[in-house]
Amino acid sequence: MQLMGHSALVTGGASGLGSQVCREFARQGARVTVIDVNGALAEAVARDIGGVAACCDVTQSAEIEAAIAIGRKAHGPARILVNCAGIGGAKRLVGKNGPMPLEDFTRIINVNLVGTFNVMRLAASDMLSADPLDDGERGVMINTTSVAAYDGQVGQAAYAASKGGIAALTLPMARDLAQFGVRVVAIAPGLFLTPLLAELPAEVQESLATSIPFPKRLGNPAEFASLAAHIVTNLSLNGEVIRLDGALRLPPR
């Protein structure tokens, strides 16, 4: 499938990796719906790329359904979904104030893992309403996991578990949707220069960059977007988690 002329939904599309995906997809001719909990930022990105915006909490099914409907009305049924929405958080299992509060764990799991699944199930239902293309494909779903799914560090129990769940979803969901011609792929980025990392002091950024074997720099969000675009166009990519990390393996701390 080519991006040109097709409808795409991007969650977490107002900033970071998601914003870059929106811009790259639009550059290649996709008709993009920018979905984000920050409605004002989503509107700004949508204006820049000639897309539409939808304010949406991925844990809320009614809000997802409304966002998908906005995209469908503007661009037709979406053939492409990229899930970039997610949150972080670091806390030890037992800290100075006692056990990690359960709500801190469930909050990250709910947004990152349950939220990803929630968008997938509702977007898939809409995707299946589209006629298959000449090669039998109806659509593709790209999820964002993390190298933390494999190399979770101290204090990352919740985050690593949420991203590990997304990685584990990939193959069974690809098998589930194969009969309909819908592919499922995940990208596991390493250390990328997102707004969160950009706020760190320059010396901290440099220290992080030196831990990457090659290239010895933080990842460029444009590289993530480029890979997402390639996944859309490569019919044989299915059921796989692709590490995008410069051969990085995270240490315990």
Question: Which amino acids are annotated catalytic?
Answer: 159
Q: Which H or E run includes 161? A: helix 157-177
For residue 104, how many other CB atoms are within 10 A of its CB? 14
Question: Which residue in 8, 5, 78 sits closest to 228, CA to CA?
Answer: 8
Q: Which H or E run includes 125? A: helix 115-127
For residue 131, how many other CB atoms are within 10 A of its CB? 6
Residues 6 or more apart whose CB falls under 8 angstroms from that of 48 comprise 23
Do residues 186 and 145 make contact, with C-beta atoms less than 8 angstroms apart? yes
- Per residue, the 3-state secondary structure of 164-227, as one string, reads HHHHHHHHHHHHHHHHHCEEEEEEEECCECCHHHHCCCHHHHHHHHHCCCCCCCCECHHHHHHH
**Dihedral sign computed on CA atoms, order 30, 240, 182, 118:** negative
Question: Which residue in 143, 169, 171, 147 sits closest to 160, CA to CA?
Answer: 147
